[in-house]
Structure 1
């Protein structure tokens, strides 16, 4: 039983690290890097928006960067706070609160607080988000 618990704890830490790297990518990475974090058939949902497939998710990230909403030079920060992770073999679920700041280079302004509800799957390439639901508050 110790081995199983140890494996589960290691997987949980992997997911936590993965989600942290995903948040950093949103602020500092290139849109194409989203392919490292989301499955080919990912579903990304937020209020009034639904993207299906990695091509749509990357296109939306490109648009956010063009608009200066996020990405390099936008001075934004996605700060993941309260986070729970449940791992079941090669699948995981994570719930987290995210504080989104703008003007992080000067006097940070809390723009909004959102909740990520993520489903993940681990394959040969590591963890990938297969479904992300973003809700306010």
Structure 2
């Protein structure tokens, strides 16, 4: 049985994950950076590991969309909740639109650790991997 605290944590985790996808697709890098703690880490397989706000901002600034795009995140499961820390795993499908319509460009997975400080949940570590 899920407790009210677990349900609340799950809602906060899912909200952060959704906000990340929305910010990334809308090229709102500053909003995306604010979803991480100042000492947070974003690791993207084959691209790099960005630690801290300035490194995350610089890393994601290189991903500015050149055409309409959409990150669909699904099947999010909060795998662990311990006090002020939660872990989650999600599936990812990345779509881009060109002259022939929308197409899946890649699929992958997010492995997340979020922490709560002063009542606010943010990413401590996000690892993005891609499936062949």
Q: One fold, TM greater than 0.5?
A: yes
In terms of fraction of residues, the more helix-rich structure is 1
Equivalent in 25, 31, 35 of residue 37 of structure 1: 35
Given the two structures, how large is their TM-score scaled by the length of structure 2? 0.87
Q: Classify the secondary structure of the residue corresponding to 2:3.
A: helix
1:77 aligns with 2:70: yes
Aligned positions, number:
129
| Equivalent in the alignment of 2:114 | 120
**Residue of structure 2 aligned with 1:87, choices 81, 85, 98:** 81
> CA-to-partner distance for each residue in 1:65-115, whole Å, 9 max, x for gaps?
1xx35xxxx311110011101322210001001100001897211000010
Describe the SS at the equivalent of 1:64. coil
Shift of 1:32: 1.1
Look up the match of 1:102. Answer: 96
Cα–Cα, structure 1 residues 20 and 105, in superposed 2: closer, same or farther, change >3 Å? farther
TM-superposed deviation, 1:46: 2.0
C-alpha displacement at 1:28, in angstroms? 1.2
- TM-score normalized with structure 1 length: 0.84
Deviates more, 1:100-109 or 1:17-26: 100-109
Q: How far apart, in 1, do the equivalents of 2:119 and 2:32 lie?
A: 14
SS at the partner of 1:23? Answer: helix
CA-atom RMSD in angstroms: 2.1
2:14 maps to 16
**Runs of 4+ deviating beyond 6 Å:** none
Greater shift, 43-52 or 126-135, is seen at 43-52
Q: Structure 1 residues 108, 126: CA separation in 2 closer, same or farther (over 3 Å shift)?
A: same
Whole-Å Cα distance in 2 between the matches of residues 32 and 106 of structure 1? 31
Aligned-pair CA distance for 1:7: 1.3
